[in-house]
Structure 1
């Protein structure tokens, strides 16, 4: 197994770093000695992340940008290389989702979810791959979702985008075999990120993640492990991860029956909320940092029946 020193001095671009998994992964990578280039649409949030990285003794370049704008993507990579001389690691973490039944989602929501959550990964990969090929090494680390190999009501566009992204990553791994360029994926369960405080909803009610909810640091630590030992797919959670994959493999009808009956109920509260756009097309002020308003489920509750969603 590689040691912590192996990451010291490496250069990483982290997308979606203004909140959630991107933010926390950047912090954990910095603690391991990685020099950062962080990007998202909210420069003020990125500056707060940079201040925290510097306070902990790390190094961080802030590059505001939108993963749906090719010129922004190229500029972020160009500024990273200009600052550090190269890029060794790309952590694709930018994502958005929209809650609603498929036939009630505005078409522009569906295409925007794909543009950010899937094509954003593609754009950054195409921007860094020439650098990886020229230097003979590199690492694409993709923050995936348990929905990359599963499904859930109310999140059809997001699940479809994640299925596409995982299929792309697996194909890319085959294409790049023997080049020194590695592909890794981390399968994320429901985590306590601000995504649920940002996401638009067509339901008129506050959305919440499917329980149990894990702390976002679970994923950030998995990102660092993959950075040290690339070329794998990590499933860091047990109950909403390895156990789910095993159950879907031997008895897929069980999970479908549960989600068919309880899936919508588990993802909504009774709290009225009018948020038809959320952060899809423009950044919002709320939700800076790694964690959102939904706390992690206590460990002892993860092995009991999910509690009814409660109003805050």
Structure 2
């Protein structure tokens, strides 16, 4: 059983804190008494977050930086140590995604997505681990995605990055066994963040998350839960979480059929949009804060979807078993 940690007075670096899960996780950690060092490319957005944290009685250091630039990463870690004298938790959250068929994506989009959404996590962990090893304690808390275990069309580069990041985190956990340094992962479903308002698309239509969409605070509360009980993998949602993994094990053809046939349609709104580069290479001004333009799916719709998918998967499994018996 994971040991419960007292969070008050601990120091955390939160990457990707200018919006979405990073922003909301920083607020939730500050409520627990965690001293923050927040980083992202947008200084102005981070300063808005800093004011909100301080208005609630918390401490927050702003250090802008790009997770793809090694010098920026080292500077964030150094500035945090200079201010607080220690680092207890690294919350890896910075990520980007790009929408398009794999063979039609510009190669620089694929490379940039991997640089930010995978190698950015590795760079920060590589920078903080010497400090953690010296102290004999520390916690690398990775905000992952349900796409770390699954897949969706139009997001091949992001899916590749998330699979790689989860695999790295599992290997790192084994390497750090017995050192006092913990590794945790939060597998986040589709949440109502500005990520979809930032992402480039090749389809001239506004990208939206695969439904259902959860409140971003669901992910932030899971981050706090992992911070309290490190060394675990947290799956905060049921329909787009626990149930999805179960279905992938017992009836993978159900998800393949739905996403294969309807996946592109599910991820595009009717609203026309020309956004070929989004925030991949330069930050954008819009989308500051936890929430984006796509609201959370109402609870009754999620319940209806659960019932429908459960019936579909159950029927498919029973049908497959009946066919197997008939063949015998």
**Structure number having the greater helix percentage:** 2
Structure 2 Cα separation of the partners of residues 248 and 3 of structure 1: 31
**Displacement, 1:269?**
1.2
Equivalent residue number for residue 41 of structure 2? 41
Equivalent residue number for residue 283 of structure 1? 283
Equivalent residue number for residue 173 of structure 1? 173
Provide TM-score, normalisation by structure 2.
Answer: 0.92
Equivalent residue number for residue 139 of structure 1? 139
Structure 2 Cα separation of the partners of residues 272 and 213 of structure 1: 21
Q: How many residues align?
A: 305
Structure 2 Cα separation of the partners of residues 124 and 82 of structure 1: 17
Question: Structure 1 residue runs of 4+, over 3 Å off?
Answer: 1-4
Equivalent residue number for residue 116 of structure 1? 116
Equivalent residue number for residue 151 of structure 2? 151
**Displacement, 1:179?**
0.2
Structure 1 Cα separation of the partners of residues 198 and 39 of structure 2: 18
Of residues 251-260 and 297-306 in structure 1, the stretch that sits farther from structure 2 once superposed is 297-306
Equivalent residue number for residue 19 of structure 1? 19
**Displacement, 1:162?**
0.1
Structure 1 Cα separation of the partners of residues 160 and 304 of structure 2: 29
Equivalent residue number for residue 86 of structure 2? 86
Equivalent residue number for residue 293 of structure 1? 293
Equivalent residue number for residue 309 of structure 1? none
Query: Structure 2: where are the runs of 5+ without partners?
Result: 307-328
RMSD, matched Cα: 1.1
Deviations 1:209-253 (A, max 9, x none): 010000000000000000000000000000000000011011111
Structure 2 Cα separation of the partners of residues 20 and 305 of structure 1: 25
Equivalent residues in 2 for 1:33-112, closer than 5 Å: 33-112=33-112
Structure of higher CA gyration radius = 2
**Displacement, 1:270?**
1.5
Structure 2 Cα separation of the partners of residues 267 and 3 of structure 1: 39
Structure 1 Cα separation of the partners of residues 77 and 203 of structure 2: 38
- Structure 1 residue 187 and structure 2 residue 192: aligned? no
Structure 1 Cα separation of the partners of residues 62 and 103 of structure 2: 39
Whether the aligned pair in 1 keeps the contact of 2:3 and 2:230 (CA below 8 Å) is no
Equivalent residue number for residue 311 of structure 2? none
Provide TM-score, normalisation by structure 1.
Answer: 0.96
Deviations 1:114-150 (A, max 9, x none): 0000000000000000000000000000000000010
**Displacement, 1:3?**
6.1
Query: Structure 1: where are the runs of 5+ without partners?
Result: 307-312
Q: Secondary structure at the match of 1:184?
A: strand
Whether the aligned pair in 1 keeps the contact of 2:200 and 2:278 (CA below 8 Å) is yes
Structure 1 Cα separation of the partners of residues 189 and 232 of structure 2: 17
Structure 1 Cα separation of the partners of residues 251 and 173 of structure 2: 29
Structure 2 Cα separation of the partners of residues 264 and 305 of structure 1: 19
**Displacement, 1:291?**
0.3
Q: Secondary structure at the match of 2:188?
A: coil
